[in-house]
Amino acid sequence: MASLIATLARSVLGPRPEIFCASAVWNTGVTELRRRAGERQESGAFLLGSRDEARRIEEFVFYDDIDPNALRTGIVKIDGRRLGALWTHCRKTGRQVVADVHVHPGGFQQSPSDQANPIMAEVGHLAIILPHYAVRAIYPGAIGVHEYLGSHRWHDRSHERPSPFHVGWWPTWR
């Protein structure tokens, strides 16, 4: 009930989140990330959906489904030659990449590798990082939200209140 009241108050008084995900989609996707990580390696996914007034996450496409070798080294490394399968899927479903998510063994700050090698090197792209292999904190307020500025520069938006990322119901009347 408190979550519903907070969401309604923010929808009336606060800024609209820049990116949304329904709880069922988020929880299912994060559960699969956790399973694939197995508390021993990173895992990740492209977050596909639509962009209207805000980005809406509708589907997780896991890195290792696009590139079977993406997680072999323990960190995420995607062979760009494998991305054709992702773009084909986007065309078939009418969706686009609206963000990406991956898990870290420790906290949710970007590693030097994350900063130097963005999954999507597009200005404004959001990279979400779930700490502790997504075993504990998995919701905005306790996860990393990093915006790509271009030229390997990032803006850490993890501590913004209210968060630019919202999981759960959001009214459509605003």
For residue range 43-90, list pLDDT tens digits in order: 999 999 998 878 999 999 999 999 999 988 877 889 999 999 999 999
Q: Select from 140, 135, 129 the least CA-distant residue to 40.
A: 135
Q: Is the pLDDT of residue 112 over 70?
A: yes
62 DSSP β-pair partners? 45
Q: What pLDDT, on a 0 to 100 scale, did the predictor assign at position 5?
A: 47
Question: Per-domain residue ranges for the chain?
Answer: 2-167
In 40-74, which positions are buried (b, 16+ CB within 10 angstroms) versus exposed (e)? ebbbbbbbbbeeeebbbbbbbbbbbbbbeebbeee
CATH topology of domain 2-167: Cytidine Deaminase; domain 2 (3.40.140)
Q: What pTM value is reported for the model?
A: 0.90
Q: How confident is the model at residue 18 (pLDDT cuts 50, 70, 90)?
A: very high
Q: What pLDDT, on a 0 to 100 scale, did the predictor assign at position 48?
A: 98
SS3 call for 59: strand
Q: What pLDDT, on a 0 to 100 scale, did the predictor assign at position 75?
A: 79
Between CA 139 and CA 108 the distance in angstroms is 12
